[in-house]
Structure 1
Amino acid sequence: MNPDTPQPAQRGTGPTALEDDLQQRQRAVTALGDELRALGDAAVGAEAPTETLHLVAEAARRLTDQLATPRRLRASVPAIDDFATGRRFYNPVSGEGNPLAPPMRVETTADTVTGHCTLSLVHEGPPGYAHGGMSAMLLDELMGLVCLHSARPSMTVALTTRYLQPVPLDTPLRAQARITRTENRKTYVHGSIATETRPAQNLVEAEGVFVSPAPDSQRALFPHLPLL
């Protein structure tokens, strides 16, 4: 064989192979998250016989054992995440791999972040309606994202939530966040939740104060990450 003849690239090496592996893992994490969400929703809504519940619990225990090791460290960022852009697969609001997440689909414009999701029985507070803590969590996530996408990555220091009407389950929701003003390292944000069919009628509103950490504080909080 002529040594000058170009050889085909080896399978499983190079940037393309690494990208393929990452995408395959992201798809696998998303697929597992989807099934766990479906299982959670089925579990909290089940009126199955007691024996069936015991059988399903044992099957779930065996599956859990398959994921027992290895585990990532508490403060480590999963390789499939893009921390800088806010795409985090295990985020409890928008993470496709987190069984608690709705998950929320997020859209951004120049000054607004909009989230779309539907809450289910696993998020229930009063019968038929979402737990108030879920509304606060959805808004806190969006309000932090609008800071990030406005080049003001910040952490929540205050969040005041007003519950105007109950948030219904199994109903497409529309949540929004926008920056109202800035002051040095502080960012003031307004958030709201409505239904997709009645976007002008807010069910929940919130005002938040977010602060960009000083470099020393950021190093102490997130020593494993580059400065934002």
Structure 2
Amino acid sequence: MTEDINPFASEAITPPFNEEWQAKRRVAKAIQQLTEVLVTSSPSIEKMHGIANQLERTASEFAESPRIFGRWDWAQSQEHGNFGQISHELNPLAGLSNPLAPPINNWIEGDIAFATCTCGWAYEGPPGSVHGGYVTAIFDQFLGMAQLITKQPGMTAYLHVDFHARTPLNTELRLEAHVVKTEGRKNIIRGEMFAEGVKTASAEGLFVQPRGGMYAVKTQEAALRNN
């Protein structure tokens, strides 16, 4: 992967930057599978304590490896890819190397943004349905990505979500979004979520680019950490 490749250029999932991220994606996938099994299984108490012992040992061994806290520091090392590539891997909603992410797969075609996402049992709210908080978080990530259409991405100022029907688990969710208006440093984006052709939710978000752009946020955060 090179600096000028846009990870949101097509529906195809962008391959990992290097072998490190390929391995990290594998670990993340295994943790996701473990989470899914945890919330859907009922082994004996003795077996669960045994599994916990194994996982605690693994976590302790993992923690002994070199640690990097924050995507900005990952990028500053210049050994793991640029900031965009690292964000694409570690984003908590779309990162394939982050086990918290469902993940969301985003792409842009012309002036329309698209995404797909499938939420398993770990994301259950109402019976058989995706928790509304996760639906909202998915929109926050997706509409934020859609700002790339404006070429001046910003941070969330408000996000309004309407729920039209329950959003089912274990079903591919498809999302579409477009830019309503760009005014100064402000972007207004609207999007919809569908499950098997049924609109389950819609959202509108206002995003504001910080003065100096998003790069200014990164450098300010780094300066605060170094003080």
TM-score (normalizing by structure 2): 0.81
More helix by share: 2
Instruction: Provide the rounded CA distance (Å) in 2 between the counterparts of 1:224 and 1:66.
Output: 33
Match of 1:18 in 2: none
Mark the runs of 5 or more structure 2 residues left unpaired by the alignment. 1-15, 222-227
1:168-183 equivalence runs, <5 A: 168-183=168-183
- Deviation for aligned residue 1:22: 5.1
- 2:120–2:169 Cα contact (<8 Å) kept: yes
Q: Secondary structure at the match of 1:78?
A: helix
- Structural mapping, 1:70-109, within 5 Å: 70-74=66-70, 76-79=72-75, 80=80, 82-84=82-84, 87-109=87-109
- Residue 206 (structure 1) aligns with: 203
Unaligned stretches of 5+ residues in structure 1: 1-20
Consecutive aligned runs of 4 or more in structure 1 exceeding 6 Å deviation: none
Q: CA offsets per residue over residues 147-198 of structure 1, 9 Å max, x none?
A: 1243111111000011111111011110122111111111000011111x31
Q: What RMSD over aligned residues (CA atoms) do the two structures have, in Å?
A: 2.4
1:35-61 deviation per Cα after TM superposition (whole angstroms, max 9, x unaligned) = 110001001111111111111111111
Question: Number of residue pairs matched?
Answer: 202
In structure 2, what is the Cα distance between the partners aligned to 1:111 and 1:207?
A: 16
The amino acid across from 2:161 in the alignment is T
Q: Hey, what does 2:132 align to over in structure 1?
A: 132
Given that 1:123 and 1:130 are in contact with CA atoms closer than 8 Å, whether structure 2 keeps it comes out as yes
Match of 1:45 among 40, 55, 78: 40
Q: Determine if contact 2:140/2:159 at 8 Å carries over to the other structure.
A: yes
> Is contact 1:81-1:89 (8 Å) kept?
no
**1:114-158 deviations in Å (ceiling 9; x for gaps):** 111110111111121111011111111111111124311111100
2:116 is aligned with 1:116: yes
Q: What is the one-letter code of the residue matched to 1:67?
A: F
Q: State percent identity of aligned pairs.
A: 28
Shift of 1:87: 4.8
**1:102·1:118 contact (CA, 8 Å) conserved in 2?**
yes
Q: Is 2:41 aligned against 1:54?
A: no
User: Could you tell me which residue of structure 2 aligns to residue 11 of structure 1?
Assistant: none
Instruction: Pick which of 93-102 and 146-155 moved more.
Output: 146-155
Task: Name the residue aligned to 1:151.
Answer: 151
Partner of 1:191: 191
Per-residue CA deviations over 1:2-51 (Å, capped at 9, x if unaligned) read xxxxxxxxxxxxxxxxxxx9510111011111111000100111111111
User: 3-state DSSP class of the match of 2:199?
Assistant: coil
Q: Which residue of 2 aligns with 1:14?
A: none
